[in-house]
Amino acid sequence: MSKWYPKNGRVIFHVDMNSFYASVEMAFNPELKGKPLAIAGNPEERRGIVVTSSYEARKFGVKTTMPVGEARRLCPNLLVLKPTFERYRTASKEMFKILSEVTELVQPVSIDEGYMDITGCAEQGAPPEIAERIQQKIFTELDLPCSIGIAPNKFLAKMASDMKKPMGITILRKRDLDKKLWPLPIEEMYGVGEKTALKLRKLGVKTIGDLAHHSVLELKQVLGINGERLQNRSNGIDNREVDPDAVHEFKSIGTSTTLPHDTTDETEIRQVLRRLSRKVESRMNNKKVLSRNIQLMIRYYDRKTVTRSKQLHDFIATADELYNAALLQFDTHWNQEPVRLLGITAQDLAEKSEITQQLDLFNYEEYAGKEKLYKAIDDLTEKYGHNPFQKINLPGDSQVTTSFQKDFLDDFKK
């Protein structure tokens, strides 16, 4: 057993649910099993984007973030369902309960994946045996498939869990890097996005092995400190601990939406920005945070995407403040071309309880004048369980956004 549990090392699992949303729907309705299935926010509209798809659909080329129309062209028999968030939340909670029965060192990182540190679990058996028991229990009790990566650190465990899907268990040791990890294309490395991969390929870095042996000085010149970090990871170096308390951490709160049609109509654009601002305000209120940096994302008709952020003098939290900051960014950076997608992200967050607003001669009256209004709204929100003054989302507003992946962590903390 000592060969599995080194004295000075760790044994880390990365548990990754396979095609999670689609698998949950199949577990709920077994008639969907074996059929090409996709989950999308607005199945009947162009702005509907595939959030996940079954493996049967993936065989036809259906991919995450693909427009529903394109997915249906590739797979004419594709079944497209709207997301049912409560099912996913419930399934996620049950999955993490199973992981927590093995060890307290469980770190959720999204609704369908998490890390486990089983270094102190030698009495439960060898890591492959523990992984198989977890996998089978999740499948038997929840009817959901998952893949598990086993490695000495989080990065290698994450890479290992991606190597065999669905229902795979993969061991990735440092001594196996040259055979299992280094031959992979650089785009398949966790932490390397499209833009980073393009920069690396210009340096002649085509595989993860190329990255592992490239000049660290040149990497840092092109990618900054991230260049050295990525090279360390490619060599199997990752000292991050599995931190159950990381579930409490968040760096930004944002949401985005694809417009029903490309538009240059400023009235329509302002309405979208208003709606996005209300969504961000709601999530900031739930987390009891303020923001001092607002980022706006604009995607044009030709898919060209620009993001611009603005550091603010004071912390803000209301929809009006978020809207005004985002609109200023839009007016400054919009090139008058048709807009396809808009997004607003609140960054540089701080908890309300830790912030003391530095009121000066120019904003004191504004804050003082609204103080009673804010208190009245808070009192009504507490009484009714929601903000009675917040506009109800219009039909079609309910769509999958990346925020759902992060918001589920609030459920896990309860």
φ/ψ region of 349 (left if φ > 0, alpha if ψ in -120 to 50, else beta) reads beta
For tokens 């984007």, what's the residue?
A: 49
Q: Given the residues 56, 101, 104, 113, select the one marked as catalytic.
A: 113
Is 141 among the catalytic positions?
no
Pairing of strands 146-151, 339-351: unpaired
Reduced to 3 states (helix: H, G, I; strand: E, B; else coil), residue 377 is: helix
**How many residues does the structure list for the chain?**
414
Q: Rounded to an integer, what distance in angstroms lies between the CA atom of residue 219 and that of residue 364?
A: 49
Other C-beta atoms closer than 10 Å to the C-beta of 397 total 14
Q: Rounded to an integer, what distance in angstroms lies between the CA atom of residue 293 and that of residue 31?
A: 47
Asked if 154 and 242 count as a contact pair (C-beta separation under 8 A), the reply is: yes
The DSSP letter of residue 35 is S
Asked if 239 and 153 count as a contact pair (C-beta separation under 8 A), the reply is: yes
- List all residues 6 or more positions away from 55 whose beta carbon is below 8 Å from its beta carbon: 18, 19, 165, 166
Q: Output the DSSP codes for 162-211.
A: TSSTTT-EEE--GGGIIIIITTSBGGGSTT--HHHHHHHHHTT--BHHHH
Catalytic residues: 113
